Amino acid sequence: MTTKTINSIDRRRVVNMIMTSLTAVCAVFAIAVLVAILGYIGVRGISSLSIEFLTDTPKPVGEGGGIGNSILGSAIMTLLAAFLGLPVGIAAGVYLAEFGRNWFGNTVRFVADTLIGVPSIIIGIFVYTLVVLPMGRQSGFAGGLALAIIMIPIVARTTEEMISLVPNSMREGALALGAPQWRVTWNIVLPAAASGIATGAMLAIARVTGETAPLLFTALNSRFYNYYLDQPMSSLTVQIYNYATGPFEVEHAMAWAATLLLVGLILVINILVRFFTRKKF
């Protein structure tokens, strides 16, 4: 009887040890994958990176060329998306946090969360039928619009979260001093939540900078520097996709270099956001 009890305790200890070490193995595995991906991008990407690569336009295979126009295109479309999407997203977030404790607010919240999970290529198709077909051609505007639609629900939800962190006593104080409600939100609540809203916006911008699928048939691609929003526009991500799926070794190398740039940018944004928000949350 006693030996049996001891055995069972031993067995339980062994199970405990095995399972707890297995969970640690899982964590190590995730880190290994991250290191494997980032390390490979670093090693393969750095060798093709040069000033010429960063400023030139694509040339026929074997003649060099670069991704300058893609960098510009990504910047223009991301800025356009921020310009269109941030005000709407932030305003929606203000509504949800300040007035959204009702069935309508709950519905918006629910729809926003499900919209965040909708595949971005669907948004691409939507904008294609809505903008590209009537206009008769792909354009940087259509690309930026698709990215803006992707941003809106993300920004709305993070903004709501940040505004909810502002203590109620601040609102009550301002109201008690006779400020109208909109002044309370505009002059008290929004400034108090500003840094949080800004970090949420930065993360949303980082997210859409990495989007490819919604740009495939809205912005398409271009081989030239293009400053006009009604013309097809190149982007880093679509260019990476084209280079990666192409048959040439030289193009693959350029895909890695462009990826190094893209991932570097996205990681820097994420790490900075993390660094600046650590104290608060």
Minimal distance in Å, beta carbon 238 to another protein? 8
Q: What share of the chain is helix, strand, coil (3-state, %, to 5)?
A: 80, 0, 20
Residue whose CB is less far from another protein, 185 or 222: 185
**Residues 222-261: x/- map of binding to another protein (CB under 8 A)?**
---------------x--xx--xx------x--xx--x--
According to the binding rule CB under 8 A, does residue 212 interact with another protein?
yes
Residue whose CB is less far from another protein, 11 or 227: 11
Single-letter amino acid code for the residue at 105: G
According to the binding rule CB under 8 A, does residue 137 interact with another protein?
no
Contact 203/270 with Cβ under 8 angstroms? yes
According to the binding rule CB under 8 A, does residue 51 interact with another protein?
no
Contact 219/235 with Cβ under 8 angstroms? yes
- Near another protein by CB under 8 A: residue from 72, 77, 81, 123: 123
According to the binding rule CB under 8 A, does residue 112 interact with another protein?
yes
Residue whose CB is less far from another protein, 60 or 117: 117
- Near another protein by CB under 8 A: residue from 71, 151, 152, 166: 152
Q: What's the CA gap between 258 and 241, in Å, rounded? A: 10
Binding range to another protein, per CB under 8 A, among 54-62, 73-81, 93-101, 226-234: 93-101
Q: What's the CA gap between 219 and 76, in Å, rounded? A: 11
According to the binding rule CB under 8 A, does residue 49 interact with another protein?
no
How large is the greatest C-alpha to C-alpha distance in the chain, in angstroms?
85
Residue whose CB is less far from another protein, 79 or 267: 267
- Near another protein by CB under 8 A: residue from 48, 95, 161, 190: 95
Residue 136 backbone class (left: φ over 0; alpha: ψ -120 to 50; beta: rest)? left
- Near another protein by CB under 8 A: residue from 2, 3, 5, 25: 25
Task: Kindly provide the b/e burial profile for residues 10-33, where b requires at least 16 CB atoms within 10 angstroms of the residue's own CB.
Answer: eeeeeeeeeeeeeeeeeeeeeeee
Minimal distance in Å, beta carbon 100 to another protein? 7
According to the binding rule CB under 8 A, does residue 194 interact with another protein?
no
239: tokens are: 């260019």
Contact 229/80 with Cβ under 8 angstroms? yes
Site residue total, another protein (CB under 8 A): 97
Query: In the range 55-84, which residues lie near another protein by CB under 8 A?
Result: none
- Near another protein by CB under 8 A: residue from 42, 105, 164, 190: 105
List Cβ neighbours of 122 (8 Å cut-off, separation of 6 or more): none
Q: What's the CA gap between 112 and 117, in Å, rounded? A: 9
Contact 193/160 with Cβ under 8 angstroms? no
- Near another protein by CB under 8 A: residue from 1, 2, 3, 30: 30
According to the binding rule CB under 8 A, does residue 188 interact with another protein?
no
